[in-house]
Structure 1
Amino acid sequence: MSNNDYIERIVDEEALAEYLTEELGEATEYDIERHQAGHSNETLFLTWGDEDLVLRRPPPGAKADTAHDVLREYHVMDALQETDVRVPTTVLACEDHDVIGSDFYIMERSKGDVLRDDEPDRFADPESRQRIGEELVDRLAEIHAVDPEAVGLEEFGRPEGYIDRQVDRWHKQFDWAFDVTADEREVPEIEEIGAWLDDNVPDDHPHALVHGDYKLDNVMFGPEEPPEIVGIFDWELSTLGDPRFDLAWLLTYWRDAGDAEPAIPELVPTFTDREGYPTKGELVERYEAATGIEFEHGRFYRVLSVYKLTALCEMFFRRHLEGNADNPMYPKMRHRVPAMADWAMRIIDGEEPI
Structure 2
Amino acid sequence: MTAEDDYFARIVDEEALAGYLREELGPVDVYEVEHHQEGHSNETLFVTWGDKELVIRRPPPGEVAETAHDVLREYRVIDSLQGTEVPLPRTVLACEDHAVLGSDFYVMERMDGDVLRNDEPERFATPEHREQVGYQLVETLAAIHQVDYEGVGLEVGDFGYPPGFTQRQVRRWSEQLMWGFEVTVDEREVPELYEVMEWLYDNVPEETPATLVHGDYKLDNVMYAPGTPPEINAVFDWEMSTLGDPFTDLGWMLSYWWDPKDPDPPQSTDTLMKDFMTREGYPSRLDLVERYEELTGFEFEHDRFYRALAVYKLAGLGEMFFRRYLEGNSDDPMYPKMREGVPALAERALRIIEGDEPL
TM (norm. structure 1) is: 0.93
The reply on whether 1:222 has 2:225 as its aligned counterpart is yes
CA contact (8 A) 1:66 1:236 kept: no
Alpha-carbon distance in 2 for matches of 1:227, 1:6: 36
Cα-to-partner distance string for 1:299-320 (whole Å, 9 max, x where unaligned): 1111111111122223334445
CA separation of 1:111 and 1:188: change in aligned 2, threshold 3 A: same
Alpha-carbon distance in 2 for matches of 1:284, 1:93: 36
RMSD of aligned Cα (Å): 2.1
Counterparts of 1:173-184 in structure 2, within 5 Å, are: 173-182=176-185, 184=187
CA contact (8 A) 1:303 1:344 kept: yes
Alpha-carbon distance in 1 for matches of 2:318, 2:65: 22
Counterpart of 1:352 in structure 2 is 357
Comparing 153-162 and 191-200, the one that deviates more: 191-200
Deviation for aligned residue 1:20? 2.3
Counterparts of 1:143-162 in structure 2, within 5 Å, are: 143-154=144-155, 155-162=158-165
Counterparts of 1:317-328 in structure 2, within 5 Å, are: 317-320=322-325, 327-328=332-333
Match of 1:105, SS? strand
The reply on whether 1:46 has 2:47 as its aligned counterpart is yes
Counterpart of 1:343 in structure 2 is 348
Counterpart of 1:87 in structure 2 is 88
Match of 2:112, SS? coil
Q: Which amino acid aligns with 2:43?
A: E
The reply on whether 1:141 has 2:162 as its aligned counterpart is no
Alpha-carbon distance in 1 for matches of 2:19, 2:186: 51
The reply on whether 1:299 has 2:299 as its aligned counterpart is no
The reply on whether 1:199 has 2:184 as its aligned counterpart is no
Q: Which amino acid aligns with 1:74?
A: Y
Alpha-carbon distance in 2 for matches of 1:93, 1:233: 16
Amino-acid identity (%): 64
Alpha-carbon distance in 1 for matches of 2:83, 2:338: 42
The reply on whether 1:313 has 2:318 as its aligned counterpart is yes
Counterpart of 2:293 in structure 1 is 288
Match among 245, 254, 257 for residue 254 of structure 1? 257
Alpha-carbon distance in 1 for matches of 2:65, 2:170: 23
Alpha-carbon distance in 2 for matches of 1:6, 1:340: 29
The reply on whether 1:241 has 2:244 as its aligned counterpart is yes
Alpha-carbon distance in 1 for matches of 2:48, 2:188: 48
CA separation of 1:95 and 1:304: change in aligned 2, threshold 3 A: same
CA separation of 1:121 and 1:22: change in aligned 2, threshold 3 A: same
Comparing 38-47 and 6-15, the one that deviates more: 6-15
Q: Which amino acid aligns with 1:227?
A: P
Q: Which amino acid aligns with 1:10?
A: I
Match of 1:171, SS? helix
Comparing 18-27 and 4-13, the one that deviates more: 4-13
Comparing 99-108 and 192-201, the one that deviates more: 99-108
Match of 1:31, SS? strand
Comparing 295-304 and 7-16, the one that deviates more: 7-16
Cα-to-partner distance string for 1:278-326 (whole Å, 9 max, x where unaligned): 0000000001111111111111111111111122223334445556555
CA contact (8 A) 1:3 1:34 kept: no
Match of 1:67, SS? coil
Alpha-carbon distance in 2 for matches of 1:188, 1:271: 31
Q: How many pairs align? A: 354
Q: Which amino acid aligns with 2:44?
A: T
Match of 2:107, SS? strand
Alpha-carbon distance in 1 for matches of 2:177, 2:67: 19
CA separation of 1:319 and 1:69: change in aligned 2, threshold 3 A: closer
Match of 1:68, SS? coil
Alpha-carbon distance in 2 for matches of 1:300, 1:123: 33
CA separation of 1:23 and 1:267: change in aligned 2, threshold 3 A: same
TM (norm. structure 2) is: 0.91
Match of 2:68, SS? helix
Q: Which runs of 5+ in 2 are unaligned?
A: none
CA contact (8 A) 1:62 1:68 kept: no
Match of 1:227, SS? coil
Match of 1:33, SS? strand
